[in-house]
Structure 1
Amino acid sequence: SSSSLYLRVVLSGIKLFVCIIFLGWLMIWVIMPTNTYNKEWSPKLQSATTSTYFGSQGTNILIYTFPILFIAVLGCIYLHLAKQSGHTYHGGPLSKVLQAWRRPFLLMGPLGVISAVELTFCLMFLALLVWCFSMYLNNTLSHISQNSTENGEKLWMVKLGDVSYWSGFVGHIAAAFLFFPVARMSSLLPLIGLSSEASIKYHVWIGHIVMLLFSAHGFGFIIVWAATGTLYKLLKWEAVGGSIIAGGLALVCGLIMWITAIPRIRRKIFELFYYTHHLYILFIVFYILHVGVSAFCLILPGVYLFLVDRFLRFLQSRQKIRLVSARLLPSEAVELNFSKSTGCCYSPTSTVFIKVANCSSLQWHPFTICSSSSLEPESLSIIIKREGNWTKNLYQILSSPSSPQRLDVSIEGPYGPPSLDFLRYDSLVMVSGGSGITPFISIIRELIHRSKTQRSRTPGVLLICAFKTSAELSMLNLLLPISGQVFNLSSLELRIEAYVTRDKALIPNAQNLIRTKWFKPIPSDSPISHVLGPNSWLWLGAVIATSFIAFLVLLGILTRCYIYPIDHNTDLVYNYSKKSMLNLLFICVCITASCTAAVLWNKRGNSIELKQIQSMDFPSSWSYNVDTEIESVPHESIIHSINVHFGERPDLKKMLLECKELNTGVMASGPRRLRHEVARICSSGLANNLHFESISFSW
Structure 2
Amino acid sequence: MASSSSSSDLRKLIRVLIVGVLLGYAMMWVLLPTNTYKHKWLPKLKSRLSSNYFGNQGVMMLIFTFPPLLVAVLSCVYLHLAAELQPTGKKSSGDDEEKETRVLATWRKPMVVRGPLGIVTGIELGFLVMFVVLLFWSLFTYFSSSFKSIDATDPAFLGGLKKWQLKLDLGGLWLGLVGNICLTLLFFPVARGSAVLQFFGLTSEGSIKYHIWLGHAVMTFFTAHGICYIVYWALMGQMSQMLKWSRSEISNVAGEISLLAGLGLWATTFPRIRRKMFELFFYTHHLYIPFVVFFVFHVGFTYACYMLPGFYLFLVDRYLRFLQSRHHVRLLSARILPGAGQTLELSFSKSPALKYNPTSVLFLNVPGISKLQWHPFTVTSNSSLEADKLSVVIKGEGKWTKKLYEMVSSTSGSTDHHFDVSVEGPYGPASTDFLRHETLVMISGGSGITPFISIIRDLIFTSSHLQLKTPRVILISSFKTTADLTMLHLLLPISAAAASSSTANLRLTIEAYITREKQAAATSPFHNNNNVRTKWFKPSPTHAPISPILGPTASWLWLAAVVSSSFLAFLVIIGLLTGYYIYPQGKKSGEVGFPMALTAFLYMLVLCVCVAAASSGAFLWNKRKSGRDQTIQIRNVEGATPTGGSPASFGAVHEMTELESLPLQTFAEATNLHYGVRPNLRKLLVEHCSEGGSIGVMVSGPAGLRHEVATICSSGLADDNLQFESISFSW
What are the within-5 Å matches in structure 2 for residues 266-665 of structure 1? Answer: 266-330=274-338, 331=340, 332-402=342-412, 405-485=417-497, 486-507=500-521, 513-534=531-552, 535-567=554-586, 572-616=592-636, 617-619=638-640, 621-622=642-643, 626-627=647-648, 628-629=651-652, 630=655, 635-659=664-688, 660-665=691-696
Aligned amino acid, residue 120 of structure 1: G
What are the within-5 Å matches in structure 2 for residues 147-166 of structure 1? Answer: 148=154, 149=157, 151-166=159-174
Classify the secondary structure of the residue corresponding to 1:198: coil
- Per-residue deviation, 1:624: 9.0
CA distance in 2, matches of 1:49, 1:77: 29
Q: Do the aligned residues in 1 keep the contact of 2:206 with 2:727 (CA within 8 Å)?
A: yes
Aligned amino acid, residue 371 of structure 2: S
Aligned amino acid, residue 46 of structure 1: K
Classify the secondary structure of the residue corresponding to 2:186: coil
- Per-residue deviation, 1:572: 4.3
Q: Do the aligned residues in 1 keep the contact of 2:536 with 2:641 (CA within 8 Å)?
A: no
Q: Do the aligned residues in 1 keep the contact of 2:545 with 2:634 (CA within 8 Å)?
A: no
- Per-residue deviation, 1:508: 6.5
CA distance in 1, matches of 2:335, 2:515: 25
Q: 1:594 to 1:334 in 2, by over 3 A?
A: same
Q: Do the aligned residues in 2 keep the contact of 1:370 with 1:382 (CA within 8 Å)?
A: yes
CA distance in 1, matches of 2:329, 2:473: 34
Classify the secondary structure of the residue corresponding to 2:640: coil
Classify the secondary structure of the residue corresponding to 1:159: helix
- Per-residue deviation, 1:613: 1.5
CA distance in 2, matches of 1:278, 1:591: 20
- Per-residue deviation, 1:468: 0.6
Percent identity over the alignment is 49
**Partner of 2:726 in structure 1?**
694
Aligned amino acid, residue 184 of structure 2: A
Q: Do the aligned residues in 2 keep the contact of 1:405 with 1:624 (CA within 8 Å)?
A: no
CA distance in 2, matches of 1:620, 1:67: 51
**Partner of 2:107 in structure 1?**
101
CA distance in 2, matches of 1:623, 1:642: 37
CA distance in 1, matches of 2:591, 2:179: 24
CA distance in 1, matches of 2:457, 2:76: 28
Q: Do the aligned residues in 1 keep the contact of 2:197 with 2:204 (CA within 8 Å)?
A: yes
- Per-residue deviation, 1:151: 4.7
Q: 1:26 to 1:620 in 2, by over 3 A?
A: closer
- Per-residue deviation, 1:133: 1.2
Q: Do the aligned residues in 2 keep the contact of 1:427 with 1:661 (CA within 8 Å)?
A: no
What are the within-5 Å matches in structure 2 for residues 23-102 of structure 1? Answer: 23-86=23-86, 88-89=90-91, 91-102=97-108
- Per-residue deviation, 1:421: 2.3
Per mean C-alpha deviation after superposition, the further-off stretch among 396-405 and 662-671 is 396-405
Classify the secondary structure of the residue corresponding to 1:665: strand
Matched, 1:681 2:712: yes
CA distance in 2, matches of 1:98, 1:572: 56
Per mean C-alpha deviation after superposition, the further-off stretch among 411-420 and 478-487 is 478-487
CA distance in 2, matches of 1:270, 1:2: 53
Classify the secondary structure of the residue corresponding to 2:354: coil
- Per-residue deviation, 1:95: 1.6
Pairing partner for 2:251 from 243, 252, 255: 243
Q: 1:281 to 1:636 in 2, by over 3 A?
A: same
- Per-residue deviation, 1:637: 2.7
CA distance in 2, matches of 1:362, 1:661: 50
- Per-residue deviation, 1:698: 1.6
> How big is each residue's C-alpha offset from its partner over 1:492-512, in whole Å with a ceiling of 9 and x where there is no partner?
111100011011234569856
CA distance in 2, matches of 1:491, 1:622: 36
Q: 1:208 to 1:572 in 2, by over 3 A?
A: farther
CA distance in 2, matches of 1:619, 1:544: 40
- Per-residue deviation, 1:203: 0.5
**Partner of 1:190 in structure 2?**
198
Per mean C-alpha deviation after superposition, the further-off stretch among 559-568 and 439-448 is 559-568
CA distance in 2, matches of 1:620, 1:690: 46
Aligned amino acid, residue 651 of structure 1: N
CA distance in 1, matches of 2:579, 2:80: 38
- Per-residue deviation, 1:242: 1.9
Query: What is the aligned-residue RMSD (CA, Å)?
Result: 1.9
> How big is each residue's C-alpha offset from its partner over 1:374-419, in whole Å with a ceiling of 9 and x where there is no partner?
2111111100011100011011111114578111100000100111
CA distance in 2, matches of 1:625, 1:209: 58
CA distance in 2, matches of 1:68, 1:173: 14
> How big is each residue's C-alpha offset from its partner over 1:427-448, in whole Å with a ceiling of 9 and x where there is no partner?
1000000010000000000000
State TM-score, norm by structure 1. Answer: 0.97
Per mean C-alpha deviation after superposition, the further-off stretch among 617-626 and 55-64 is 617-626
Classify the secondary structure of the residue corresponding to 1:367: strand
CA distance in 2, matches of 1:335, 1:164: 53
Q: Do the aligned residues in 2 keep the contact of 1:518 with 1:625 (CA within 8 Å)?
A: no
CA distance in 2, matches of 1:92, 1:488: 28
CA distance in 2, matches of 1:309, 1:623: 43
Aligned amino acid, residue 613 of structure 1: Q
- Per-residue deviation, 1:420: 0.4
> How big is each residue's C-alpha offset from its partner over 1:506-561, in whole Å with a ceiling of 9 and x where there is no partner?
45698561111101112111111111111221110000011001000101110111
> How big is each residue's C-alpha offset from its partner over 1:211-256, in whole Å with a ceiling of 9 and x where there is no partner?
1000000011101111111111111011111210000000001111
Classify the secondary structure of the residue corresponding to 1:691: strand
CA distance in 2, matches of 1:287, 1:624: 61
Aligned amino acid, residue 366 of structure 1: P
Aligned amino acid, residue 706 of structure 2: R
CA distance in 1, matches of 2:544, 2:368: 18
Structure 1 stretches of 5 or more lacking a match?
Answer: none
CA distance in 2, matches of 1:98, 1:400: 51
Classify the secondary structure of the residue corresponding to 1:197: coil
- Per-residue deviation, 1:108: 2.5
Q: Do the aligned residues in 2 keep the contact of 1:152 with 1:228 (CA within 8 Å)?
A: no
Q: 1:568 to 1:662 in 2, by over 3 A?
A: farther
Structure 2 stretches of 5 or more lacking a match?
Answer: none
- Per-residue deviation, 1:606: 2.1
Per mean C-alpha deviation after superposition, the further-off stretch among 555-564 and 507-516 is 507-516
CA distance in 2, matches of 1:57, 1:621: 62
CA distance in 2, matches of 1:464, 1:176: 41
Q: Do the aligned residues in 2 keep the contact of 1:487 with 1:637 (CA within 8 Å)?
A: no
Matched, 1:263 2:271: yes
Paired residue total: 699
State TM-score, norm by structure 2. Answer: 0.93
Pairing partner for 2:122 from 95, 116, 126: 116
